[in-house]
Amino acid sequence: MYQLMDLMEGARNYVVNGCQAKRGEEVLVLTDNKVDPLVPQSLAAAAMEVGAKVTVLSMPAPELEIDRYFEDDIPRVVKEAVWGADLLIEATSYLAHPNDRWLNTPMMENGLRVLLLMMPPAGHLASQYARFPGEILLAMINRDFPKVKKAKKLRITDPKGTDLECEISVGTQDFLSGGIGMTAIPNFMHKGTFFTPGACIGGRFYKNVNGVVYLDLAEVLDQPPARAPKWVVKDTYVVEAENAPAWEQMIKEDRKAALLSEIMWQYNPKMDIHVAWPDNESVTRKGGVLHMALGQPLSRAGGREDEASTHKHIHTHGAILRPTVSLDGEVIIKDGHCLALDDPEVRRIAAKYGDPDVVLAESPIPDHYIAKV
């Protein structure tokens, strides 16, 4: 069992170091009846420590077992309260997407900042992952993000045989960069400032994707794969799938389900929990791991009735755990290791928090999570 003090370092890292909550600001902490009360309590306490004016609202979680809120799920009092907030901390059991009108409009028109913490267990805020300094993540992102914007070609390989190439098209396609302290990072997708646990670069910032992918993790499987699921990608669509019957069926029945809709990679070198299949979220958020998705993303999948019945069919995820990622031939991730961790400026900042070798040490991914071909 966790105590409030166990969560406070992680809460301060998100709220103060990341979202930069300040004295006198109006901070709204939003939660629901499925979240451990310690989570909103710690986040509120972190904001109050710096002199922010904090309000906590709890709302009912949706009855349907899907993983996002819709416009009609949000109580009117919450929709009105966000207009009076400088910072919204969303610690709910389901995701409210920044593209949703009730969030996006005050973000764009009123400068609302948003911290998204989807389904946060108390243990998450107590973890090394949540405590990893946001200042370091910002330095890592600031190292690589300009390279992505300037590059023309992206290539992804791995020891299993993955070899995928595409053209980079930042600004004409959706581009997402989120994370602790990412206020300096342009965000073409949501046109506002928002924060998510950890830090990533990716989204749909590419076109003309071609090649082959061998995955280590697959959302459509209920157990670790005996052999690595394989995608053959042509013109940004998966035209063949192997070793994952659900994907094989999906791409035959629905072209929407075959669209390669997300490519993103992570930067936080820590993992927050031990992994239990099929709940592999902690692995896919570790630095150096490549996340990929097929099908329309949540914000485009349709209304509540449509999404409730088809979301898992439309939008599914997979991951490569030890990828090599290069931009115009320059490697930025090598076999799952973010080279930003070796950057002198990143190490200089890490030294403020202790021995850089210890601060930047990566949580190991167990070998048995690497799928065999």
| DSSP assignment of 253-313 | H-GGGGBEEEEEEE------S--BTTB-HHHHTSTTPEEEEES--GGGS--HHHHHHHHHH
Cβ(298)–Cβ(334) under 8 Å? Answer: no
Give mean pLDDT, residues 269-276: 63
Evaluate if residue 271 carries a pLDDT over 60: yes
Q: What is the mean pLDDT of residues 27-46?
A: 95
pLDDT for residue 300: 40
C-alpha closest to that of 29 among 48, 58, 56, 51: 56
* pLDDT computed for residue 203 by the predictor: 73
Whether residue 60 is preceded by a cis peptide bond, meaning omega within 30 degrees of 0, is no
Q: How far apart are CA 14 and CA 266, in angstroms?
A: 17
Average pLDDT over the chain, rounded to an integer = 83
Nearest Cα neighbor of 153 from 231, 232, 206, 212 is: 206
301 vs 106: which has the higher pLDDT? 106
CATH topology of domain 4-126: Thermophilic metalloprotease-like (3.40.1830)
| Residues in CB range of 65: below 8 A, 6 or more apart | none
Residue 22 pLDDT exceeds 60: yes
- CA dihedral defined by 78, 83, 86, 92, rounded to 10 degrees? 20
H or E element in which residue 247 lies: helix 245-253
Residue-wise pLDDT for 191-216, tens only, equals 455 566 567 777 777 889 999 999 99
The candidate with the shortest Cα–Cα distance to 202, out of 149, 131, 138, is: 149
Number of C-alpha atoms within 13 angstroms, CB side, residue 248?
8
Name the segment(s) of the chain with CATH classification 3.40.1830.10: 4-126
Taking only the tens place, the pLDDT of each residue in 110-160 is 888 888 786 678 888 888 888 898 888 888 988 998 898 889 999 999 999
**What single-letter DSSP state applies at residue 368?**
G
pTM: 0.85
> CA 232, CA 244: separation in Å to the nearest integer?
13
- Mean pLDDT on 94-106: 78
Token pair 């003090």 in the structure block, residue: 5
Whole-number pLDDT of residue 281: 59
pLDDT for the residue numbered 307:
45
User: Which residues have CB under 8 Å from 164's CB, separation 6+?
Assistant: 155, 156, 157, 209, 210, 211, 212, 213, 233
pLDDT at 344: 98
Residue type at 157?
A: T
| Maximum mean pLDDT: which of 9-23, 236-250, 255-269 | 236-250
